[in-house]
């Protein structure tokens, strides 16, 4: 695996691969890698000739400074994991490389209703930051395919809209959420849970999977009410639990005319904000 910190060196290498007719798969991450990230690398390895992984903790997508400051950083271990997984290129830019001080780094796309709900409603500016950093990475890497996780379902939907807006040729591929044996969705933030918090965290995915098992048997309102009851324990602070149309992301009241539905939740446990979702249909 080759590691690049500058755009010029990375692009020289990628241009050489392109001239050889090789396809480039890209997995953007913020590091503190786990099997969820690695599963995306493995998918890219299977479908693309060359896999590029970026690690960049993007400050513009954090709306809470403490979350950014406490975001785990495990670069050495990450590089080892990527090497083992067969990643070809690790791109490790600094903030000045991604947002050069002498350049206008502003970028804005109006995602309409997609960004007004769930994460968009609770994390002001988050998706603007996500779009800004991904536009930059797409310009730099220009991948044939980009691999992103279902774990951040709304982010995936926003990125799909971004690629459409850019008329980009990059194909967007969704990787299934990888979970711990007890159902907890893998997340870089899980290491910040205490032992006690970690032991109750799987109740979040249980509420989501239980909701899925009730689909078609109970009303959406009842399913949502029961999920909120399940999550109503002193250790949890539920930010939202929504059952939404999987395409428009707007909350639904019934399955009539709905092609795909998704249950999405965010729960605060101790100092950690945990996000998860299950595709219901």
Q: Which of 89, 131, 186, 267 binds ligand AMP (CB under 6 A)?
A: 186
Residue 126 is a catalytic residue: no
x/- map, 18-37, ligand AMP, by CB under 6 A: -----------xx-----xx
Closest approach, Cβ 30 to ligand AMP, in A, equals 4
Pairing status of strand 89-91 against strand 145-149? unpaired
Total residues in contact with ligand AMP, by rule CB under 6 A: 17
Please report, as residue ranges, which positions from 39 to 98 form the binding site for ligand AMP (by CB under 6 A): 39-40
- What's the min distance (Å) between Cβ of 177 and ligand AMP? 4
Buried b (16+ CB within 10 A) or exposed e, 230-244: bbeeeebebbbbbbb
Instruction: Among 51, 54, 60, 188, indicate the residue that binds ligand AMP (CB under 6 A).
Output: 188
Partnered with residue 189 across adjacent β-strands are: none
Q: Which of 37, 122, 126, 165 is catalytic?
A: 37
How many alpha carbons lie under 13 Å from residue 178 in its C-beta half-sphere? 17
Distance (Å, rounded) from C-alpha 204 to C-alpha 198? 11
Query: Residue 175 interacts with ligand AMP (CB under 6 A)?
Result: yes
Residue 185 or 244: the one with the smaller Cβ distance to ligand AMP is: 185
Q: Which helix (H) or strand (E) holds 83?
A: helix 75-85
The alpha-carbon radius of gyration of the chain (Å, integer) is 19
**Cα-flanking dihedrals φ and ψ of residue 35, to 5°?**
-60, -25
Binding residues vs ligand AMP (CB under 6 A)? 29-30, 36-37, 39-40, 148-149, 151-152, 175, 177-178, 185-188
């Amino acid at each position: 695996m080759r590691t690049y910190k500058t755009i010029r060196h990375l692009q020289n290498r990628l241009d050489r691969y392109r001239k050889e007719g090789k396809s480039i798969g890209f997995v953007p991450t913020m590091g503190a890698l786990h099997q969820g990230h690695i599963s995306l690398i493995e998918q890219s390895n299977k479908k693309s000739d060359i896999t590029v992984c970026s690690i960049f903790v993007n400050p513009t997508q954090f709306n809470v400074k403490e979350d950014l400051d406490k975001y785990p950083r495990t670069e050495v271990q990450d590089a080892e994991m990527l090497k083992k997984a067969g990643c070809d290129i690790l791109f490790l830019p600094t903030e000045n490389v991604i947002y050069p001080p002498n350049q206008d780094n502003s970028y804005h796309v109006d995602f309409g209703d997609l960004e007004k709900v769930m994460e968009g409603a609770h994390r002001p500016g988050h998706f603007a930051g996500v779009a800004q950093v991904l536009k930059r990475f797409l310009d730099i890497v220009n991948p044939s395919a980009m691999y992103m996780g279902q774990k951040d379902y709304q982010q995936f939907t926003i990125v799909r809209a971004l690629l459409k807006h850019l008329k980009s040729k990059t194909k967007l591929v969704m990787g299934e959420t990888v979970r711990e044996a007890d159902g907890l969705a893998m997340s870089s933030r899980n290491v910040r849970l205490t032992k006690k918090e970690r032991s109750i965290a799987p109740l979040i995915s249980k509420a989501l999977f239980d909701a899925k098992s009730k689909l078609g048997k109970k009303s959406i309102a009842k399913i949502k009410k029961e999920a909120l009851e399940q999550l109503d324990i002193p250790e949890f602070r539920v930010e939202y639990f929504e059952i939404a149309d999987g395409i428009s992301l707007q909350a639904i009241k019934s399955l009539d005319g709905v092609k795909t539905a998704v249950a999405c939740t965010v729960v605060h446990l101790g100092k950690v904000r945990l996000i998860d979702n299950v595709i219901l249909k």
